[in-house]
Chain A
Amino acid sequence: MAYRILRQLLYAAALILAVLVLNFLLIQLAPGDPAEVIAGEMGGANAEVMAAIRQQYGLDKPILTQLGLYLGRALQGDLGTSYFYNRPVVELILSRLGPTLLLVTAALAFALIVGTRLGVMAARKPRGIASTLVTVLSLVGYSAPVFWTGLMLVILFAAKIPLFPVAGMINIVKQGGPLVRALDIAHHLVLPALTLGLVYLAQYSRLTRASMLEVLGADYIRTARAKGVSERRVLNHHAFRNALLPVVTVAGMQFGAIISGAVLVETVFSWPGLGTLAFQSILARDYPTVLGILFFSTLLVIIANLLTDFVSRLLDPRLAKGH
């Protein structure tokens, strides 16, 4: 077990290193002078700044030396400076990480809880209303672009039913203690989390239904029924636990896609997270920030993968014995 964890951590470290190398290659491959790429094509970089960049990145040295310098700095937590925001990239990103994590976690929790419940209900009656709902929902959830769903919700909630705020994360006019603040953020979170969650809710409900149907045919379910366990307990306890495994695996594998979705949703709802930062830095051609965000979100995906692996093992002890 300890050996396994160590091996996985080493592998994760190798992936992180590979992402850094990729970032470096992207700067090199981009057309134009790397110093200009690093400074951003905003025209604001004067000769002094350019000279500083050349010196800092060692752009006159051989390419492998440059790579070494880049990796060395990155491993010390220095991903360069944003010349647009005039701040170190890492600091800038860390200030925006919280809102994105909050949005992604809320959306994922919503999708997992509602999606699996819906899937179980659909599996109980394969021809019932819940089952039809799952089918329709999964088609709509897959086919509607997430940013468009968000915009449609904005139209609905901004003018027609003004129940939830449609932009931002905090109402700056509102005064109050931490509880008021938390409630305010939660209030702002509803629509973005709902938008992002709907896509995955659709997938998880369908997946839960399929794997529940499969599990319900297993021998141990018949045994449970035969020994007089209530149907409710059979569904919610015996079957659900096993049907959950594929859902957790898929949810973990999709983490990168969820972060991608968050970029679009944040842009729609002006949610002050990594996604809006990515969008603004791309418009500003602020490459160090853009590449820094790519690095950090890849890091999040790697961590999510490790966590998924861990949760799968909790759900199915057989997995822990293998390998």
Chain B
Amino acid sequence: MTAQARTSVPAARGPMAEAWDIFRRSPAAMLGLLLLTLVVLMTFAGPFLYHVDPFEIVWAPLSPPGDDPTIPLGTDNLGRDILAGLIAGGRATLAVGFAAALITMVIGVVIGAYAGFYGGWVDDLLMRVTEFFQVLPPLLFAMVVVTLFQPTLMNVALAIGIVSWPQTARLTRAEFRRIRTLEYVSAMRAIGAGDGNIIWRVILPNALPPLIVSATLTIGMAILFEAGLSFLGLSDPNVMSWGLMIGSGREYLLDAWWVVTLPGVMIFLTVLGVSLVGDGLNDAFNPRLRER
């Protein structure tokens, strides 16, 4: 912690500022944030610093890291630069991860909000639909969707979103059921606020903390999911991704450990970062629930 951070006193202390205070005092959470920052920096600033096409054949196939100073992390089975692949692959992995998490959150929150707010037959119907999607084995269903339709990045994100939303819907529903009985919601109703207004502008902001935590974990899950699909060769073959690198390098596993190991390390560090941040947020929003 720098001296500057210690002396700066925020003007207003809202719940978010308080949460941030708890968050930044947790070394694990800050490590997660650092990891994520590094990964994002690498994938977005990387192409400007390291101009190598990830698909271009630059050197002899399967040359180990450090063999040639211009190719620091070696080459894959086709002689493509691994470092360039890691940089480009991160972009696809992160983009699909975030897009899928966004789709998951939108579907889950809308369905959970209506089910929790209205109750009765709306709740019954929506929960039956949710339960139906919950019995589908997620990866298999996504595999089928991506194969039947085109494996573009958007379809991969959609497939992941479609199989991941039930958990978010359940969480949102539980929060809405709890909050809708609180006094300030009754007060809003008494002054004549419409349902839409109450759902989106009164209850949703108050249900946000657990949803933010869940969104963070969803990003991590979506990244693992995307990696799994592209490992199986089911994502866009024209877009480099970490999973794809592992999938295409696995036949050379025993001769060239770096081809599969390095992209896996990147996935691991990214998801680790995301889950550390998620845990940190969880503690920050629920200080009392912290593990003893």
Binding site for B on A (CB under 8 A): 15, 18-19, 22, 26-27, 29-31, 37, 126, 139-140, 142-148, 151-152, 154-155, 158-159, 209-210, 213, 253, 256-257, 259-261, 263-264, 267-268, 278-279, 282-283, 285, 287, 290-291, 293-294, 297-298, 301-302, 305
Contact = CB atoms under 8 A, between A and B. Distances in A.
Contacts of B260: 148, 151
Nearest to A18: B132
B140 A293 contact: yes
Given A287-B148, A301-B137, 5 more contacts: A126-B292, A140-B268, A147-B227, A155-B253, A260-B139
B267 interface: yes
- Contact count band on B: 35 or more
A301 B253 CA distance: 33
A143 B148 contact: no
Contact of A260 (B134, B137, B246, B291): B137
B220 interface: yes
A144 B149 CA distance: 28
A144 B264 contact: yes
B210 to A, nearest CB: 16
A263 B139 contact: yes
A167 to B, nearest CB: 11
B90 to A, nearest CB: 14
Contact of B231 (A31, A147, A210): A147
Given A29-B148, A154-B253, A259-B140, A143 B271 contact: yes
Contacts of A301: 135-137
A143 B138 contact: no
Given A37-B148, A144-B268, A298 B232 contact: no
Given A148-B246, A282-B234, A291-B144, A297 B137 contact: yes
A145 B227 contact: yes
Given A15-B135, A31-B149, A298-B136, A279 B232 contact: yes
A236 B114 CA distance: 43
A40 to B, nearest CB: 11
Contacts of A278: 140, 143
A298 B137 contact: yes
B250 interface: yes
Interface string B98-142: 000000000000000000000000000000000110111111110
B246 A147 contact: yes
B276 interface: yes
A271 to B, nearest CB: 15
A142 B254 contact: no
Interface string B135-161: 111111101110111100000000000
Contacts of B144: 26, 282, 290-291, 294
Nearest to A41: B147
Contacts of A210: 291
A213 B275 CA distance: 22
Interface in B28-66: none
A243 to B, nearest CB: 14
